[in-house]
Amino acid sequence: MGKLFIIHTTPVTVAALKELAAEMIPGHQVFNILDDSILPELIAGAPLTQVEPRVRRYVRSAAEGGADVILSACSSIGGLVVAAQGEVAGPVVRIDGAMAEQAVEMGTVIAVAATLDTTLQPTTELLKEKGAILGKEIVVQPYLVEGAYAALAAGDRGKHDALVGEALGKAYQETDVVVLAQASMAGVVDQLAGLDGSRFLTSPRLGMAQVKAFLEKSL
């Protein structure tokens, strides 16, 4: 039985990823580290360097807890978590890594839909990094869904989903493939009628598939 530690910056992703883990990696233990003070700091304009020491502590704490794999559930700090790989023995995975690689393989003009400005830049940088690795020039078009995150934080999932759905429809018409930058947006894709769902990429399932591969390799 392996141990997966997930680092969260919002409680929204805890239950969803726990459920997904139960489906995709049954029999393995899942533990959560949640710090919901990070996103408000970043939204308020704090640089990533301000939260980096905390993030590194969480990675080390997960390793000390016996983690076989460490997963970052937050795109905003994904780069920080992976940067801490050198401090621990086991693999460190960012939830959007596999999604970004698949997006670059699928298209040239890639939409990045996000409800937080703090996730746009990290996701854009990740896509360009994957493009460089694959030797492919890509164009990244950002779609920031204003008001959606505030609605979700206030408990209004319906408003969040409506705003995100409208933005995704627009992005679908204007680009080759649409990347959802946050795990909390993933459920909206199922609500889009008449659109080719294969052109929307969400991070939870692809990220968990990468976790599963690491667990199977290490155990």
* Per-residue model confidence as pLDDT tens digits over 180-206: 998 888 889 988 988 999 999 999 999
Contact by Cβ (8 Å): 97, 210? yes
Per-residue DSSP letter, 72? E
Examine the domain organization and report whether 87 and 180 are in the same domain: no
Mean pLDDT along residues 105-116: 95
What percentage of the chain has pLDDT greater than the value 70?
100
Examine the domain organization and report whether 147 and 91 are in the same domain: no
Examine the domain organization and report whether 101 and 198 are in the same domain: yes
Residue 198, CB half-sphere, CA atoms under 13 Å: how many? 3
Domain count, the chain: 2
pLDDT score recorded for residue 68: 97
Residue 32 has pLDDT above 90, yes or no: yes
The Cα 188–Cα 12 span in angstroms is 14
Examine the domain organization and report whether 68 and 109 are in the same domain: no
- In angstroms, the Cα distances linking 78 to 8, 30, 125 are 10, 19, 11
Q: Considering only CA atoms, which of 70, 144, 132 is closest in space to residue 101?
A: 132
Nearest 5°: the CA angle 62, 209, 176 is 120
The Cα 99–Cα 200 span in angstroms is 10
Examine the domain organization and report whether 149 and 62 are in the same domain: no
Contact by Cβ (8 Å): 75, 123? yes
Burial category of 45 from C-beta neighbours within 10 Å (exposed 0-12, middle 13-18, buried 19 and up): exposed
Contacts of residue 49, defined as CB under 8 A and 6 or more positions apart, other chains included, come to: none
Mean pLDDT along residues 2-15: 95
Examine the domain organization and report whether 106 and 27 are in the same domain: no
Question: Which CATH number belongs to the domain containing residue 196 in this structure?
Answer: 3.40.50.1860
Contact by Cβ (8 Å): 3, 29? yes
Examine the domain organization and report whether 87 and 23 are in the same domain: yes
What residue numbers bound the domain in which 118 lies?
A: 97-203
On whether the pTM is more than 0.85, the answer is: yes
Examine the domain organization and report whether 131 and 87 are in the same domain: no
Examine the domain organization and report whether 91 and 125 are in the same domain: no
